Amino acid sequence: MEKKLAVIALGGNALLRGNQKGTIEEQNANTVDTLENIVFLLKEGYNLIISHGNGPQVGNVLMDNAAGGEMFGNAHMPLDVCVAYTQGQIGYLIERNLRNILKEHGINRNVISMVSQVIVDKNDPALQNPTKRVGKIYTKAEADKLAAEKGWIFKEEIKQEGGWRRVVPSPDPKDFMNAELIERLAREGNIVITTGGGGIPVYIDEQGDIQPLEGVIDKDLASSMVGTRVKADEFYILTDVPYIYKDYKKPSQQILEFLDYADTMKYLEEGVFAEGSMAPKIRACLRFVKNGGDKAVITEATKLADKKYGSKITMDYEDDRR
């Protein structure tokens, strides 16, 4: 029997927590803690593709970049290069630590990390409406100065009064480079790390050449797209909560453990899930099951191996309790 193929999306905070400085020691420890929780899938015979966020890390790169700091000297690198930089950095941390974990558990699998380009539509309407916040928070005066110097667009930061943050377009992912190769590698038993941080956004021009695009792709939507493209059976989003909740952190809070497509879409349209946190993850899961995936799961990284936890989304209700 052919092994099941699963795509696992690790949040950026799985490597760098909000209350940490971001040292390599901290990121190494966080990576090990997170990866230990996927070992049970390997022991159950799954083939795996791993994606990851890069929000905290790319934010640090952009801060150094904007300041003309030590990392890039005085050369201001474009956003696609910054995303590629963090893909290599995080992919290396995941690959090295995962190889050590596999050795400890006596599991013989190859692990390969790839700097991945994700294809978007150069005419995507999202390119005309930058919404994705990146980098550090500035004062209004600092933001105005940078906007004049660099042509950056800023929006007021909701989480910090008086703060302003750069916003960039977040185009929809359509396909990714080396998809056939990555599927073959994964189905042969190799663990592939790909489309980190949503992937480097690129488009194909009129001459058929690959061109970079200044933007950031949503990590969960890109991971869902990967799952569909490689015909994965299951899709896991590891975040900082063990379930999907209705009315999160309100007196009426309710765990939603088993969901079908229709009910989940209804909740989404009613605004039950917060746009800044859970809603994008829900959309990614819905896309995956609508496009043929068996099951999508959202849970906390440390709860993945315990099947009492995690919210499961399937296309039809009768499949929800699998």
What are the residue numbers of the active site?
12-13, 132, 219, 281
Task: Check residue 317 and report its DSSP letter.
Answer: G
Residue (of 91, 89, 101, 92) closest to 35 by Cα position: 101
Distance CA 198, CA 216 (A): 7
**Residue type for 318, please?**
E
Quickly list DSSP for 221-268: HHHHHHHHHTT-SEEEEEESSSSEEESTTSTT-EEE-EEEHHHHHHHH
Distance CA 285, CA 273 (A): 13
Distance CA 261, CA 314 (A): 6
Distance CA 167, CA 8 (A): 27
The 3-class secondary structure across 75-122, one letter per residue, is CCCCHHHHHHHHHHHHHHHHHHHHHHHHHHCCCCCCEEECCCEEECCC
**Strands 254-256 and 258-260: what pairing?**
unpaired
Structure tokens at 280: 């994008």
Encode 190-201: b = buried (16+ Cβ within 10 Å), e = exposed.
bbbbbbbbbbbb
